[in-house]
Structure formats: structure tokens, C-alpha cells
Amino acid sequence: MTHRHIVARAAVIAALLLVRSTSADVLPDNRADVFWSKYSGGGMDITGYSATARAKVTENLALEANYFIDKVSGASIDVLSQASVIKDERKQKSGTIEYLRDKTTYTASYTSSVERDYISNTASISLSQDMFGDLTTVTLGFANTQNKVGENNGTANDPNVAWLGHALTRAYSGGVSQIITKNFIAGLNLQVITDAGYLANPYRSIRFLDATSAKGYSLGNQVYPETHTSTAVQLQGKYYLPYRAAVTALYRYYTDTWGVVGNTYEIDYTHPIRNRWIFEGRVRYYKQTAATFYSDLFPFAGSQNFTARDQNLAALDNTTVGAKVTYAFWPDGWRFFKRGTVTLDASRIRFNYLDFRNIKYFGLPQYPPGSEPLYQFNANVFQAFVSVYF
């Protein structure tokens, strides 16, 4: 639907490849998942349904297929400014092939995502190598995404999509996972992502001071650079506590050519109870600076070459508190299944924008343009999935 979604998708797919590339000695067990998700926040409701199956054809070759549907409804804060309501659906199909040879796993993946106003295709490859007595795993990955960007000028039920352009995204990934002690494992990931083409979100507008308007401001089109390069580095450690539980800490530093600098901190705690239950809690804090060409209110139309008022490019912070519980209904297997689990996951995210103002107060006489209260909202994210291993 937006470029942000697409680049996020490319990054996620590349990340998924890294996650999937577990130890290169043996391919992971066969597994099938049925997945449901719900996001509610900022006026948006997104429900997702997914089915995934992976199976080893031989000891060295595994295939995986995934189908995902996102159903979006509601009206986000910026869409409200254009008086339209979103109702959209995204269908994503992906296929992955993994091949193991000695201590190296080769992975290739293809993902196709279709929305009414956005079409995206990603091809990914990665290589994962165990070395130094299997204490170290090095992973390299590359993903190439081609996007076709459109805008729905019709209504939710009677769409009229105008195609605005194309965007090309390339993601280069490298990662090292290192066993430090028999209780401690550490990981370092680096990912560089480049974009070229139509990168703006057509549904978001800038606003600028306009004395001829009764509200004191007018709306205009965003103008983005046609290139974007980002670099992210994540360092993480996982420690096995003296009793059977694990704690994870991670830090990520992000910087890009648009001037956004982000810092992420997260701590997770995982606590199993025998073979039946696994409880997990997490706290995450994220903070970023604004892009250099972002402003909530520009002094006049055309005041800069590049102009944006996309809330993702504003200075912001958010805090997530989440909990997850996994229950094994077949802890020791059943028939030919090795294990069966059901998992529930709930997160609450508090978003605070530091220079993005709430449109709810726009045009009110007590709030001259630029003095409206800042925007903030809470989001709830729920996931439920059933997994069987065979």
C-alpha cells in the first residue's frame, strides 16, 4: 500500500532468511503453522491470516510455502486529512528452497505481494556457514525487490487506481552468531538497504502556512528524493540463566541518507514450565530523529526541494510491552507428529510523536497552525497460531 510497507517487507523477508538459516549441520524439522493476527491502533484495523508449511524432501533439501492475507480497514490520522477511508487487502505468496551441503546452507526465496494499489516481487538468496567447530555461524544475504506504486483515486468500494511509478529495493545482509560460553550466545547483524524510484507515500500530504485559507494552512503533495540508503547494525545476546530460563538483550543502531537516526533497545525473558508451557515477556523502546526534509508545517508552498509530512519520518518514540504463551497440546507427539503447540501473543505499543501534530485539533480557533497538541496513540497487536512439527 505504501513504500514504507514495501521496504519493510523487503527487510523482513531478508531478516526472515537470516532467522531461518539456523545451524547449517541439519535442516530444521518439518513444520506447519496456521496463523492469525490483529492490529488495532491509530484508527486502523488490520487482520491477517496465514498458512505455512515446510518439509524436507531429503535430508539435504527442504521446501517451504507461505500464504498471507492482510485485510485493512479504517482511517489513519493522515488519511483523515484527505477525507477517505481505507479498505484494502494484501495477498502475499512466498516459496523457499533450502539446500544443505556439509556445513553450508543455501537458501533461495521468492515472494509476490499484490494489493489494489501496490504490486511487489522479491527474490532473495542467502548463504549460512558454520565454522570454528560450529561455534560460529556466518550468514550473507541479498534481496531484490521490484515495486509498482499506485494511488487509489476512487473510493474503497469503487477503486480507480492511477499507477505513479516504480521503485527498486536492494537489501544486503551479513550476520555472525557466536557461541561465547555454554550459557551465552551473541549475534551481530548488519543490513544495508538501497531504494531508487518513486519512494513517497501518495496518501500523505504536507501542510504549509496559507493566510488565504480560513484554517490558516493548506495541504500539498510530498516530494521525496528518488534514492534512499539505510544502514542498520544490531547486536544481541542471549543468556541461559542458572535455572531453565533465558534472557535476551538487543540493541540496534540505524542511520540513513534522509537523516533519520534510530536506536532500539529490547529485553526478553523466556520461562518454560516442563515440556508443556513456554512463557515469554518483552519490553522494547525505540526512538528516532526526523528526516531532514520532514516538517509538520512548512512556511510556504515549495519552500524546499524535498518536503515530507509522513509520520514515519517524524521524530518519535514508542514503547512496547508484550507477552507470549505457548502450550504444547502434544508435548511428546501424536501419531506421526513430533509435537503440537498453540501460541498466543499480545503486545501493546505506545506511540509518541515529537513533531507531528494531531489533525483532530486542526482548524480549531484555540489552536493556531503549529500549536496543536502532538499526536500519540496506543496500538494492540494480537497473534494466535497453531504449530505442528512432523
Residue 83: CB partners within 8 Å, gap ≥ 6?
Answer: none
Q: Establish if 183 lies at the interface with another protein (CB under 8 A).
A: yes
Span 268-307, contacts to another protein by CB under 8 A: 270, 272, 278, 286, 288, 291
Residue from 312, 340, 356, 388 in contact with another protein (CB under 8 A): 312
Q: Establish if 30 lies at the interface with another protein (CB under 8 A).
A: no
Shortest distance, CB of residue 155 to another protein, whole angstroms? 23
Stretch that binds another protein, among 144-152, 153-161, 236-244, 365-373 (CB under 8 A): 236-244
Binding mask 363-382 for another protein (x = CB under 8 A): ------------------x-
Q: Establish if 137 lies at the interface with another protein (CB under 8 A).
A: yes
Closest Cα to residue 262, out of 231, 292, 235? 231
Stretch that binds another protein, among 44-52, 209-217, 329-337, 360-368 (CB under 8 A): 44-52
Cell of 199: 519512494
Q: Establish if 122 lies at the interface with another protein (CB under 8 A).
A: no
| 297 three-state secondary structure | coil
Shortest distance, CB of residue 360 to another protein, whole angstroms? 19
Q: Establish if 22 lies at the interface with another protein (CB under 8 A).
A: yes
Shortest distance, CB of residue 298 to another protein, whole angstroms? 19
Stretch that binds another protein, among 47-55, 145-153, 202-210, 355-363 (CB under 8 A): 47-55
Which backbone phi and psi does 103 adopt, to 5 degrees? -105, 20
Shortest distance, CB of residue 166 to another protein, whole angstroms? 19
d(CA 25, CA 332) in angstroms, rounded, equals 24
Span 323-342, contacts to another protein by CB under 8 A: 326
Binding mask 59-98 for another protein (x = CB under 8 A): -------x--------------------------------
* Closer residue to another protein, CB minimum distance, 327 or 367: 327
Residue from 114, 119, 123, 179 in contact with another protein (CB under 8 A): 179
Q: Cα–Cα–Cα angle for 158, 162, 165, nearest 5°?
A: 150
**CA distances for 196 relative to 143, 169, 174, 268, 373, angstroms:** 14, 7, 22, 36, 35
Shortest distance, CB of residue 226 to another protein, whole angstroms? 18
| Sheet strands (E) in the chain | 31-41, 44-58, 61-74, 86-101, 104-115, 118-131, 136-152, 161-181, 184-197, 205-209, 217-221, 227-240, 246-256, 261-273, 277-288, 316-330, 339-357, 374-389
In 62-196, alpha helices (H)? 77-80
Q: Exposed, middle or buried: residue 102 (CB in 10 Å: 0-12, 13-18, 19+)?
A: exposed
Q: How many residues bind another protein (CB under 8 A)?
A: 98
d(CA 373, CA 296) in angstroms, rounded, equals 12
Q: Establish if 194 lies at the interface with another protein (CB under 8 A).
A: no
* Closer residue to another protein, CB minimum distance, 64 or 372: 64
d(CA 244, CA 241) in angstroms, rounded, equals 6
* Closer residue to another protein, CB minimum distance, 67 or 300: 67
Residue from 122, 124, 152, 343 in contact with another protein (CB under 8 A): 343
Binding mask 145-174 for another protein (x = CB under 8 A): --------------------------x-x-
Closest Cα to residue 5, out of 156, 289, 202? 202
* Closer residue to another protein, CB minimum distance, 273 or 364: 273
Span 238-257, contacts to another protein by CB under 8 A: 238, 240, 244-246, 252, 254, 256
d(CA 21, CA 215) in angstroms, rounded, equals 55
Closest Cα to residue 44, out of 91, 78, 83? 78
